[in-house]
Chain A
Amino acid sequence: MDESTEPPSAAASDVPVIRFDDLHKSFGKQHVLAGLNLDVERGKTLAIMGASGSGKSVTLRHIIGLMKPDSGRVLVEGVEVAKMTREQLSEMRKGMGYVFQDGALINWLSIGENVALPLRENTNLSDKEIRERAQHKLELVHVPDAWNKMPSEISGGMRKRIGIARALITDPDIILYDEPNAGLDPEIARSINATIRHLADTLEVTSIVVEHRIECIRVVADEVLFLHEGKSLIQTATADFFASQHPRLLRFFGQDSLPPSANPHS
């Protein structure tokens, strides 16, 4: 077995939790990722920014093994995702949460059962314990009374919250958020951002947030990576990112200088 497919050792705490090593991915003639490198340290929140179609969501899908790279490596806890066996991949995913753009809730299950689903399917916990845990996660994302509602009966913001609650149900070490602010009004978006920051601070999970709204990045991110032409144009601390005068970033934000750094948690 390749060294990179061995389970992580105790010494692995020094290595980045997530590492991209010269990753390439194309769809037909379109080269979406063209040599992407990135590192995410344990307990940190990395925001990935970039223009539409720059490969932000594709990057996330590589981490959780929904896509395989054309070349290069994605390492999670030092283990190469593409070389994992089905069982290893399944185990890795149980330690991760993934929040889809629109929540991707199972439409024929109630909100409570959506959140409880991973525990019902993958554990032998009693019904009582599963319900208690799921209810706790619903309270964590501030929707304690939603258990019996159906996904079709709730708003977009609530779907996002439920998606976050479901991602948290297995107490993951890593959470991946795919555009958590997409399609939300500013007030609900602020609330979602505060929830993400709160979870990062209290649960000390490692997070990657794909987003292109500055307001979100300011609140949630410890570091920002800007994707440009399939590569990392810059990966730096949030404050430094907003202080950057890189011409591509200035053009992206459509102004002479980047918005002032206002990362409230830094």
Chain B
Amino acid sequence: MSFSSSATHFVQTSGERASLLLATLRRLPAVFERRRLIADAMCSLGLNMTPVVLFVGLFMGMIVSLQTGIELSRIGQQDQIGLIVAVSMAREMGPFITATILAATAGSSIAAELGTMSVSDELAALEVMSIDKLRLLVLPRVVALAIMCPMLTVLCDGIGILGGGLVASSQLNVGWDLYSETAMDSLRPVGGWFGLPFDVFAGLLKSFVFGIIISTLSCAEGLRAKGGALGVGHATRAAVRDSIILVIIANYMISQMLYDL
């Protein structure tokens, strides 16, 4: 594919995704009447991923604690492990890990589901029945992930901090009391909305945006899938790949906006 056609493709798909998001936001007043579909999507796309998020979050906290703990103990600062684990989980690791897991699981599931509907004429059937597919299919998924991504992030943060504490107390000779005290102290400053600690608020804001990015991109790729099973495969791959890339870019931009002013 030449550079110009790649650039054209990039602009076209970006435009499609942006217009899908805007069209979905215009349908937000229909959220209440879609509550059952939203609840179903929250369960299938978010709640079912809880064990994975907890498992990965636990080990990420343990890894952060171990890696930083080894270095800090060399300079006699291992009592700061709680602070580092808590802040890094709340600011970065929790939202990003959760988003990556959701992109790989929920994102691929959305793209495959809508892609299969597209190639099997189910979307065309909705169109000929004058049924608004954005209200029926896209809105519930976007709202569900926008809610579930922050909720899972809270769990990921919590279990990650817990995992860090386990490593700190068992392998780095940092007492549990000291670890939990420094961790809680680091999260204490209130500066975010709703009285939340600023770092927790920043992480939740990120994960809210990540949820919207993953669901919108995955819906867009699924809706435009063509060409049978191969097309569904392409859509799924593009949804996961582009979601993760855009999550990373959005992560940087939100961090810049929140911490650099």
Asked if A117 and B127 make an inter-chain contact with CB atoms under 8 angstroms apart, the answer reads no
Asked if A107 and B129 make an inter-chain contact with CB atoms under 8 angstroms apart, the answer reads no
Asked if A96 and B122 make an inter-chain contact with CB atoms under 8 angstroms apart, the answer reads no
In the complex, what residue of chain A is closest to B128 when comparing beta carbons? A98
In the complex, what residue of chain B is closest to A169 when comparing beta carbons? B129
Residues A122 and B131 in contact in the complex (CB < 8 Å), given A98-B125, A100-B125, A106-B125 = yes
A94 neighbours in B (Cβ, 8 Å) = 130
In the complex, what residue of chain B is closest to A87 when comparing beta carbons? B130
A39 neighbours in B (Cβ, 8 Å) = none
Asked if A104 and B130 make an inter-chain contact with CB atoms under 8 angstroms apart, the answer reads no
Asked if B120 and A117 make an inter-chain contact with CB atoms under 8 angstroms apart, the answer reads no
A98 neighbours in B (Cβ, 8 Å) = 125, 128
Q: A91 to B129: give the CA distance in the assembly, Å.
A: 10
* A93-118 contacts to B (CB < 8 Å): 93-94, 96, 98, 100-102, 104-107, 117-118
Asked if A121 and B129 make an inter-chain contact with CB atoms under 8 angstroms apart, the answer reads yes
Is A1 engaged at the interface, CB distance under 8 Å to the other chain?
A: no
* A140-177 contacts to B (CB < 8 Å): 166, 170
In the complex, what residue of chain A is closest to B113 when comparing beta carbons? A108
Q: A104 to B120: give the CA distance in the assembly, Å.
A: 6
Asked if B121 and A121 make an inter-chain contact with CB atoms under 8 angstroms apart, the answer reads no
Closest chain A CB from B104 CB (angstroms): 22
Is A13 engaged at the interface, CB distance under 8 Å to the other chain?
A: no
B131 neighbours in A (Cβ, 8 Å) = 117-118, 121-122
Is A266 engaged at the interface, CB distance under 8 Å to the other chain?
A: no
Residues A93 and B132 in contact in the complex (CB < 8 Å), given A104-B120, A107-B122 = no
- B125-162 to A contact mask, C-beta < 8 Å, 1/0: 11111111000100000000000000000000000000
Asked if A106 and B122 make an inter-chain contact with CB atoms under 8 angstroms apart, the answer reads yes
Is A90 engaged at the interface, CB distance under 8 Å to the other chain?
A: yes
* A57-91 contacts to B (CB < 8 Å): 64, 66, 90-91
- B101-123 to A contact mask, C-beta < 8 Å, 1/0: 00000000000000011001110
Closest chain A CB from B236 CB (angstroms): 17
Q: A177 to B178: give the CA distance in the assembly, Å.
A: 73
Is B124 engaged at the interface, CB distance under 8 Å to the other chain?
A: yes
B122 neighbours in A (Cβ, 8 Å) = 104-107
Asked if A118 and B129 make an inter-chain contact with CB atoms under 8 angstroms apart, the answer reads yes
- A66, A107, A122, A166: the one contacting B130 at CB < 8 Å is A122
Closest chain B CB from A97 CB (angstroms): 8
Residues A104 and B124 in contact in the complex (CB < 8 Å), given A90-B130, A121-B129, A122-B130 = yes
Q: A170 to B132: give the CA distance in the assembly, Å.
A: 16
Q: A106 to B117: give the CA distance in the assembly, Å.
A: 8
Asked if B117 and A66 make an inter-chain contact with CB atoms under 8 angstroms apart, the answer reads no
Asked if A104 and B129 make an inter-chain contact with CB atoms under 8 angstroms apart, the answer reads no
Closest chain B CB from A174 CB (angstroms): 11
Q: How large is the interface on A (under 10, 10 to 19, 20 to 34, 35 or more residues)?
A: 20 to 34
Q: A191 to B244: give the CA distance in the assembly, Å.
A: 51
A93 neighbours in B (Cβ, 8 Å) = 127-130
A166 neighbours in B (Cβ, 8 Å) = 129
Closest chain B CB from A168 CB (angstroms): 12
- A64, A105, A107, A121: the one contacting B128 at CB < 8 Å is A64
Closest chain A CB from B127 CB (angstroms): 7
Closest chain B CB from A122 CB (angstroms): 6
Q: A93 to B130: give the CA distance in the assembly, Å.
A: 6
Residues A66 and B124 in contact in the complex (CB < 8 Å), given A107-B117, A121-B136 = yes
Q: A117 to B126: give the CA distance in the assembly, Å.
A: 9
A106 neighbours in B (Cβ, 8 Å) = 117, 122, 125-126
Asked if A104 and B121 make an inter-chain contact with CB atoms under 8 angstroms apart, the answer reads yes
A121 neighbours in B (Cβ, 8 Å) = 129-132, 136
Q: A60 to B136: give the CA distance in the assembly, Å.
A: 25
- B125, B132, B136: the one contacting A104 at CB < 8 Å is B125
Closest chain A CB from B31 CB (angstroms): 16
Question: Can you list 11 A-B contacts (CB < 8 A)?
Answer: A66-B128, A93-B127, A94-B130, A102-B120, A102-B121, A104-B120, A104-B124, A105-B125, A117-B129, A118-B129, A122-B129
Residues of A within 8 A of B (CB): 64, 66, 90-91, 93-94, 96, 98, 100-102, 104-107, 117-118, 121-122, 166, 170
- A-B pairs with the 6 shortest C-beta distances? A104-B125, A104-B121, A90-B130, A98-B128, A118-B129, A121-B131
Known: A66-B128, A94-B130. 17 other contacts (CB 8 A): A91-B130, A93-B129, A93-B130, A98-B125, A98-B128, A100-B124, A104-B120, A105-B122, A106-B122, A106-B126, A107-B116, A117-B131, A118-B130, A118-B131, A121-B131, A122-B130, A122-B131
